[in-house]
Amino acid sequence: MPDSLPGQLVNLLAALLLLIAFAMLSQRRVLSLVRLFAWQGVALAASTLIVAHTTGQTHLYVSAGITIALKVILIPWVLHRAIDKLDVRWDVETLINIPTTMLAGIALVIFAFALATPISQMASTITRSTLGIALASVLLSFLMMIVRRKAIPQVIGFLAMENGLLFAATSATYGMPLVVELGVALDVLVATFIFGIFFFHIREQFDSLDIGHMEKLKED
């Protein structure tokens, strides 16, 4: 079945997801990062919709709806507002060693595929080949959180990680039960607002959103 049209479309969207994850890793402008994040949400929702349509799993429509409402509209809007209010619209982050980071990212992708291959062979879903990609984008977001020194990109990394996890859930199992997905969505929503509050508190205390300033609590 992977050769069917829906299967190929999902594969295409999965590749897009991975590409966006790499783009985020090297994107220096915060506004572009938010835009990339929103596009990642679009790709995720589209692939969920295709899976929902081909398999007739109605709860996946709800899941796709939540993704669009939350990841494409609400969270990018909240982030935009925060960026406007904090006046960091034109912030450009100096990223050192983009090539090294990229190489590390490629290594992570290979690792993710090696880890996911035995599992995806067991899966019977049309989307099983994408489990490796899902795990890879989770790990890439993780890498992004490690290399970034500013608060907003770190948070976008966290949210992108959530995207990767949701994609893993759809590709391996046709999505988690609805009650769990709703709960996860609620957590993400609350987390986004708390992060938003944090931006302002951090800025107020440190005059900057650079996490590098926050290294006082070290072991003596």
Partner 1 sequence: MEILAVLGIPLLGGLVLGLVGDRRWAPELNAAASFATLLAAAALTARVIASGPVTAFDEQFFVDPFNVFLVALTAFVGFTTSLFSRPYMRTEEHDGRLSPARLRLYHGMYQLFSFTMLLTLLTNNVGIMWVAMEGATLSTVLLVSLYRTPASLEAAWKYFILCSVGIAQALFGTILLYFAAEKVLGPGGTALLWTHLHEVRGELEPTVVSLAFVFLLVGYGTKVGLVPLHNWLPDAHAEGPTPVSAVLSGLLLNVALYAVVRSKVLVDGALETGFSGNLMMGFGLVSVVVAAFFLSRQKDIKRMFAYSSVEHMGIMTFAFGMGGPVAAFAALLHMTVHSLTKSAIFFTVGHAAHATGTQNMDSIRGLMRQSPAIGWGLAIGTLAILGMPPFGVFTSEFMVLTTAMHQHWWATPFLLVALGVAFAAVFSKVQPMVFGEPAARPLPHPPALVPVFVHLAIVLMLGLYIPPYLVDWYRQAAALIG
Q: Which residues bind partner 1 (CB under 8 A)?
A: 57, 115, 118-119, 122-123, 135, 138, 142, 145, 151, 154, 158, 161-162, 165, 168-169, 172-174, 176-177, 179-180, 183-184, 186-187, 190-191, 194-195, 197-198, 201-202, 204-206, 211, 214-217, 219-220
| Shorter beta-carbon distance to partner 1: residue 95 or 184 | 184
| Shorter beta-carbon distance to partner 1: residue 99 or 118 | 118
134 close to 14: Cβ distance less than 8 angstroms: yes
Other CB atoms within a 10 A radius of the CB of residue 59 amount to 15
The partner residues of 150 in beta bridges, in order of sequence, read 210
In the complex, minimum distance from the CB of residue 31 to partner 1, in angstroms, rounded to a whole number: 22
| Shorter beta-carbon distance to partner 1: residue 5 or 132 | 132
In the complex, minimum distance from the CB of residue 190 to partner 1, in angstroms, rounded to a whole number: 5
In the complex, minimum distance from the CB of residue 98 to partner 1, in angstroms, rounded to a whole number: 22
In the complex, minimum distance from the CB of residue 82 to partner 1, in angstroms, rounded to a whole number: 15
For residue 16, what are the contacts with CB-CB under 8 A and spacing of at least 6?
A: 43
The token duo for 26 is: 């090297």
| Shorter beta-carbon distance to partner 1: residue 96 or 179 | 179
| Shorter beta-carbon distance to partner 1: residue 16 or 116 | 116
In the complex, minimum distance from the CB of residue 144 to partner 1, in angstroms, rounded to a whole number: 11
Classify burial at 71, counting beta carbons within 10 Å of its beta carbon; exposed 0-12, middle 13-18, buried 19 or more.
Answer: buried
Q: How far apart are CA 218 and CA 109, in angstroms?
A: 33
Q: How far apart are CA 24 and CA 29, in angstroms?
A: 10
| Shorter beta-carbon distance to partner 1: residue 12 or 165 | 165
| Shorter beta-carbon distance to partner 1: residue 5 or 143 | 143
For residue 52, what are the contacts with CB-CB under 8 A and spacing of at least 6?
A: 58, 60, 61, 63, 64
Nearest by Cα to 69 from 196, 195, 199, 192: 192
In the complex, minimum distance from the CB of residue 186 to partner 1, in angstroms, rounded to a whole number: 7
Other CB atoms within a 10 A radius of the CB of residue 152 amount to 23
In the complex, minimum distance from the CB of residue 29 to partner 1, in angstroms, rounded to a whole number: 22
146 close to 101: Cβ distance less than 8 angstroms: no
Residues recorded for the chain = 220
